[in-house]
Structure 1
Amino acid sequence: MSETLGAKKEVTATIKIDWLLYDIMNETFLRGRTIQNKENHKEVASMFASEDEENREKILRSIKKGFAEVKTELAEYLDEDGTTTDNSHYDGSDDLSLKLQMPSNFNEAATTGVGEAIHDYLKNTAIAEWYMVTNKADAEQYVALAQKSLVSIQQAVSKRSRPKRPTD
């Protein structure tokens, strides 16, 4: 028998903050552009998330909150210790990373799905919170999309590989 039998698999999911912010800004831009008409220019302009300081602060706060929710969801797999937290500002200068200790039979083909679902969840929760202030009509749609992303996270980390038959 292999001495690594039952050894955990380390899976690291890194969310590049620049790409996450771009996706949030692009999504809000595209959504605004699709509903713009001759009468709603001002309302549509406020829907666009941007790099302006006050906008960025709100979006980063939403991302920090969403990332904490992801960590809670994946707590059984997290390789972290620490018993303190704070509500300090996240400035977006560092990418977000999760180091997961997955079961030995975790299907590594699902690794990409884990990262993409986390990215999607963070994007959708940030847009939902942004739209609660700037576009209430679409906010619930993004809450629902975030919930679908959370299910995708759960499904991805639950993928397992079939046992391999001994060769002797």
Structure 2
Amino acid sequence: MTQHWLMKSEPEECSLDDALAAPNATVPWTGVRNYQARNFMRDNMQVGDGVLFYHSSCAEPGIVGLAQVASGVRPDPTQFDPASPYFDAKSPADKPRWLLLDVQALKKTRLIGLAELRATPELADMVVLQRGSRLSITPVSIEHWRFITQRLLGG
């Protein structure tokens, strides 16, 4: 069964435009360093799942496009690279702690900013809007997915 996700990326690191410009519009989702987000990738995310591509840590955070999960998980090589900001000296090569999967950008949408998301009563219980929610990957209910893709994005 297809699930839906919101995945946050800092645009300076990997923007939706970067993803769209990549070969096959597909990028490895590196740098996840939260166990709950990693576990979503490892245990729940499947090829073909829908993704709301969200820009974070920028002037106007919000949903900027639609994407899909394009691969299963594999070890994130940045955890082994001492030059990477995501290096993890405690992650053993024979049992990697951190994973990644590929995400394929499908299309750029209008910005649905955080303020608009917060001001939309139908989305009030969306995980990304919950107090203290800072995860880079959160599940999106089918109701929220449909509301965003059909009502807010018009199709």
Report the TM-score, using the length of structure 1 for normalisation. 0.25
From the CA coordinates, give the structure whose radius of gyration is larger: 1
Name the one with the larger strand percent. 2
Query: In proportion to residue count, which structure has more helix?
Result: 1
TM-score of the superposed pair, with normalisation by structure 2: 0.26
